Amino acid sequence: MSLAPQLADLERLTAKGRLRGLASTQGVDFASNDYLGLAASPLLADAARTALHRGVAVGSGGSRLLRGNAEEHEALEAEAAAFFGAEAALFFANGYGANSALLSTLPQRGDMIFADELVHASMQEGLRLTRADFQLLPHNDVAACAGAIAEWRRQGSNGQVWIAVESLYSMDGDFAPLAEFSALAEAEGALLLVDEAHATGAFGPQGRGLVAALPGRNHIITLHTCGKALGCEGALLCGPAAMKQFLINRARGFIFSTAPSPLSAAIIRAALEIARGGDGLRQTLRERIAHAEALLGPLGAQCHGSPILPLVLGEDQRTMAVAARLQAAGYDVRGIRPPTVPEGTSRLRIVITLNATLDDITGLAEALRQAL
């Protein structure tokens, strides 16, 4: 057996400045998605201890369709459906699995998925596996989506239309025009799939995400990850009861996966309650975002009012060199390179969380000024 082709590929990545490796967490957090600072909070630690004390299992022992379905899973799904304003919710081990299962399973042959060109890799994976046809459209361009649907209909197609977007984009930090996409979906009889991964907990009434502010959401299916602002792990798909039942019966990523930990489900239930009463946390986050934008915007960071402030440097080697200087100064900022982002747009992905104080943000700005 030889791994020569794999070694050659690694050498090519090294030559391009794109070889990846694992790095431990050091310095002030400007890299994670732990927006509300809950991941290491005593609140969730207490929730874990309480759940263990009342006998909640650490492991599930099997898939949900075998013996792995626990009361905690069902309680979480019922509470999440109510919290996010959906008919039903289905719990997955992570957002990647949930998105790929959703798009690879729910749309059928003869359907068409119109997806934003910048949707997450997990949605891209679902598109790769789907039975439906799909088309990637210019970023946040509602008019382009409407035109593409009209053209598809003119060609005689009459299947179900699906529109796939993120509410808050993970690498650009900008927001989707959800009201416009929702109106288009309603007018076209389409189903709108919204990845709320980076909005859940941090945005919307009670942290319920950005879709929560939209009226008449029967045509919308949402993904809410639990490993970002909620500080846990896992993901919840929220939508019609028929969606849940179909995925339970047809989604291979659900059927053949060991169920997520019941303990994790119990902790997420506590995280949802923290989010519900977390207006103070969200206000503090907004204040820190505003402070960061005032200092980092003049240095070239893109500012959209979200916790994600990308600073596009373009060239791979320079991006990683600047990131290394910031890390050496005690600020954990990571460089992002293709294929995660388009060619020529390598960037620093600067993330504002409650793990960094106002003084930390001021210090980062000065370190960044020097590093550039």
* Residue in 73, 198, 224, 244 annotated catalytic: 198
Dist CA 74 CA 316 (whole Å): 45
d(CA 329, CA 352): 17
> What are the tens digits of pLDDT across the range 351-369?
999 999 999 999 999 999 9
Give me the phi and psi of 243, to 5 degrees please.
-60, -50
Q: Where are the beta strands (DSSP E) in 230-328?
A: 235-239, 308-314
* Three-class DSSP category at 260: coil
3-class DSSP state for residue 328? Answer: helix
pLDDT on residue 21: 86
Quote the pLDDT of residue 323: 96
Q: What average pLDDT does the structure give for the chain?
A: 96
Burial pattern 329-342, b for ≥16 Cβ within 10 A else e, equals bebbbbbbbeebbe
Q: Would you tell me which CATH number, out of the four given (3.40.50.300, 3.30.70.1400, 3.90.1150.10, 3.40.50.970), belongs to the domain 26-41+278-371?
A: 3.90.1150.10
- pLDDT tens column, 179-232: 999 999 999 999 999 999 999 999 999 999 999 999 888 899 999 999 999 999
DSSP state of 174: P
Residue 15: pLDDT band with limits 50, 70, 90 = confident
Q: Domain-by-domain residue ranges, the chain?
A: 26-41+278-371, 56-276
According to DSSP, the β-strands at 133-137 and 88-92 are unpaired
In 3D, which of 153, 223, 224 has the Cα closest to residue 189?
153
- Given a contact cutoff of 8 angstroms between Cβ atoms, the answer to whether 309 and 172 are in contact is no
Out of 60, 72, 77, 120, pick the active-site residue. 120
Q: Which of 111, 228, 244, 355 is catalytic?
A: 228
343 is catalytic: no
Specify the pLDDT at position 341.
94
Tokens for 16, please give them. Answer: 């391009």
Residue 224 annotated as catalytic: no
Indicate if the pLDDT at residue 1 is higher than 80. no
**Active-site entry in 72, 195, 196, 332:** 195
Residue 23: what pLDDT?
Answer: 81
CB count in 10 Å sphere of residue 189? 10
Residue 122: C-alpha distances to residues 21, 104, 108, 233, 332 (Å): 21, 11, 18, 16, 25
Question: What is the CATH code for 56-276?
Answer: 3.40.640.10
Q: Residue 120 catalytic? A: yes
Q: Do 56-276 and 26-41+278-371 fall under one CATH topology?
A: no
Judged on CB neighbours under 10 Å (0-12, 13-18, 19+), 71 is exposed
195 a catalytic residue = yes
In the predicted structure, residue 57 carries a pLDDT above the cut 90: yes
Tally of CB atoms within 10 A around 288: 20
Choice among 77, 125, 166, 360 that is catalytic: 166
Tokens at 22, concatenated: 């694992």
pLDDT in tens, 279-333: 999 999 999 999 999 999 999 999 999 999 999 999 999 999 999 999 999 999 9
Instruction: Give me the DSSP letters along 302-325.
Output: --SSSSEEEEEEE-HHHHHHHHHH
**pLDDT tens by residue, 62-121:** 999 999 999 999 999 999 999 999 999 999 999 999 999 999 999 999 999 999 999 999
Catalytic residue among 99, 100, 104, 170: 170
